Amino acid sequence: MSFWENFWDIFWWFFLVYAFIAFLWALFAVIGDLFRDDMLSGWWKAVWILFLVFVPLLGVLVYVIARGKGMTERSMARAQENREASDAYIRSVAAPSPSDEISKATALRDSGTISADEFERIKTKALV
């Protein structure tokens, strides 16, 4: 009888693969959080890493139970920082507001860099 002929063997195999991938994801999330935590000293980080190396499943469970709330807070703070940085970048590369363009054109006209006709074209383009 072949392995692929029994439904429950296949089901069990997929379940184990899923559980292993979920465990790896949790392990990497814990390690990532461990190194992002500025409040934890280097010695405690080393103790956690040793715990995760020698007793990985128990280490992940204990870390999530003991430090899960802080893990969530650090994750949310990092997401907020990323969002703010993204918004600031978008604002910096987005087209300037019409009032900014008109004020720049006014300064150029007053300095004599552009003529009154060019100023009017820039102003019309900015308002459209």
Identify whether residues 48 and 59 lie together within a single domain.
yes
Q: What is the pLDDT of residues 38-84, one digit of tens each?
A: 888 999 999 999 999 999 999 999 999 999 999 999 999 999 999 99
Confidence check: pLDDT of 4 > 70: no
Identify whether residues 25 and 77 lie together within a single domain.
yes
Question: From the CB of residue 48, how many other CB atoms can be counted at a distance below 10 Å?
Answer: 22
Identify whether residues 49 and 38 lie together within a single domain.
yes
The whole-number average pLDDT for the span 16-28 is 97
User: Is residue 127 within 8 Å of 105, Cβ to Cβ?
Assistant: no
What's the number of domains the chain is made of? 2
CA distance 47 to 86: 35
Scanning 4-97, the segments in alpha helix (DSSP H) are 7-36, 42-54, 56-93
pLDDT score recorded for residue 125: 87
Q: Print the domain residue range for 85.
A: 3-94
The first and second tokens of residue 56, run together, are 């990985």
- Say whether pTM exceeds 0.75: no
Q: What is the mean pLDDT of the chain?
A: 90
Radius of gyration of the chain (CA): 29
CA distance 111 to 54: 72
Q: What is the pLDDT of residues 99-112, one digit of tens each?
A: 888 898 999 999 98
The rounded percent of the chain whose pLDDT value lies above 90 is: 60
Identify whether residues 22 and 74 lie together within a single domain.
yes
